A and B are shown apart, each in its own frame.
Chain A
Amino acid sequence: MAAIGPDVDSSLDTFPKLLLAHAERRGDRIAMREKDLGIWQCWTWRDYRDAAAALAGGLAAAGFERGDKVAIIGDNRPELYVAIAAVQGLGGVPVPLYQDSVADEMRFIVDHAEVRFAVVEDQEQVDKMLAVIDDCPHLQLVVAEDMRGMRHYRDGRLRSYSGVVDDGRRFAAGNPGFFEAEIARGSPDDVAIICYTSGTTGRPKGVMLSHQSLLATSRNANAHDRLTATEEAIAYMPLAWIGDHIFSYGQALTAGFAINCPESSATVMHDLREIGPSYFFAPPRIWETILTSVMVRMEDAAAIKRWMFKRFMAVAQRVGERKLAGRPVGFLDGLLYGLGEVLVYGPLKDSLGFGRIRVAYTAGEAIGPEIFSFYRSLGVNIKQIYGMTEASALVCGQADDRVRADTVGQPMPEVELRIADGGEVQFRGPGVFMGYYKDAHATAEALTEDGWLRSGDVGLIDSDGQLKIVDRARDVGKLVSGSLFAPKYVENKLKFSPYIREAVAHGHNRRFVAAFINIDLEAVGSWAERRNLAYTSYTDLAGRPEVYDLIEGEIARANRELAQEPQLAASQIHRFLILHKELDPDDEELTRTRKVRRRFVAEKYADLIAALYGGAASVAVEAKVQFEDGRTGTIKAELPIRDVAVAQSVALAKAG
Chain B
Amino acid sequence: MTPVERQIGDVLLDASGISLGFGAVRALQDVSVEVREGEILAIIGPNGAGKTSLLNVINGIYKPQSGHIRFRGRERRRYKPAEVAREGIARTFQNVALFKGMTTLDNIMTGRNMQVRSGLLAQALYWGPALKNELAHRLAVERVIDFLEIQSIRKTPVGRLPYGLQKRVELGRALAAEPKLLLLDEPMAGMNVEEKEDMSRFILDVNDEFGTTIVLIEHDMGVVMDISDRVVVLDYGIKIADGTPDVVRADRDVIEAYLGVSH
Q: Does B209 contact A (CB under 8 A)?
A: yes
Chain A residues numbered 617-651 whose CB sits less than 8 Å from any CB in chain B: 627-629
Determine how close the nearest CB of chain B comes to the CB of A348; give it in whole angstroms.
20
Chain B contacts of A37 at CB under 8 A?
139, 142-143, 145-146
Q: Does B154 contact A (CB under 8 A)?
A: yes
Q: Is the CB of B205 within 8 A of A149?
A: yes
Give the nearest-CB partner of B153 in chain A. Answer: A266
Q: Is the CB of B152 within 8 A of A38?
A: no
Determine how close the nearest CB of chain A comes to the CB of B86; give it in whole angstroms.
26
Q: Is the CB of A151 within 8 A of B197?
A: no
Q: Is the CB of A38 within 8 A of B154?
A: yes
Q: Is the CB of B146 within 8 A of A267?
A: no
Q: Is the CB of A267 within 8 A of B197?
A: no
Q: Choose among B138, B152, B205, B209 the residue that contacts A267 (Cβ–Cβ < 8 A).
A: B152
Chain A contacts of B194 at CB under 8 A?
627-629
Chain A residues numbered 7-65 whose CB sits less than 8 Å from any CB in chain B: 35-39
How far is A222 from B176 in the complex, measured between Cα atoms in Å? 47
Chain A contacts of B138 at CB under 8 A?
38
Q: Is the CB of B209 within 8 A of A148?
A: yes
How far is A149 from B148 in the complex, measured between Cα atoms in Å? 12
Q: Choose among B143, B145, B209 the residue that contacts A151 (Cβ–Cβ < 8 A).
A: B209
Give the nearest-CB partner of B151 in chain A. Answer: A263
Q: Choose among B3, B142, B149 the residue that contacts A264 (Cβ–Cβ < 8 A).
A: B149
Q: Is the CB of B143 within 8 A of A152?
A: no
Q: Is the CB of A151 within 8 A of B151?
A: no
- Given contacts A37-B143, A263-B151, A149 and B193 within 8 Å (CB-CB): no
Chain B contacts of A264 at CB under 8 A?
149, 151-152
Q: Does B6 contact A (CB under 8 A)?
A: yes
Determine how close the nearest CB of chain B comes to the CB of A626; give it in whole angstroms.
13
Chain B residues numbered 173-218 whose CB sits less than 8 Å from any CB in chain A: 193-194, 197, 201, 204-205, 208-209
Chain B contacts of A266 at CB under 8 A?
151-152
Chain A residues numbered 249-263 whose CB sits less than 8 Å from any CB in chain B: 263
Chain B residues numbered 198-256 whose CB sits less than 8 Å from any CB in chain A: 201, 204-205, 208-209
Chain B contacts of A152 at CB under 8 A?
6, 208
Give the nearest-CB partner of A149 in chain B. Answer: B205
Contact with B along A145-164 (1 / 0, CB 8 A): 00011011000000000000
Determine how close the nearest CB of chain A comes to the CB of B206; give it in whole angstroms.
11
Determine how close the nearest CB of chain B comes to the CB of A205; give it in whole angstroms.
34
Determine how close the nearest CB of chain A comes to the CB of B77; give it in whole angstroms.
37
Determine how close the nearest CB of chain B comes to the CB of A620; give it in whole angstroms.
27
Chain B contacts of A270 at CB under 8 A?
152
A-B contacts, 20 of them at CB < 8 A, read: A35-B151, A36-B146, A37-B142, A37-B145, A37-B146, A38-B145, A148-B147, A149-B209, A151-B5, A151-B6, A151-B209, A152-B6, A266-B151, A266-B152, A267-B151, A267-B152, A270-B152, A627-B194, A629-B194, A629-B197
**A-B CB proximity, top 6 nearest:** A266-B152, A37-B142, A267-B152, A263-B151, A38-B142, A264-B151
Q: A270-B152, A627-B193 are in contact. List 12 more A-B contacts (CB 8 A).
A: A35-B151, A36-B146, A37-B139, A37-B145, A38-B145, A39-B142, A149-B204, A149-B208, A152-B6, A264-B149, A266-B152, A629-B197
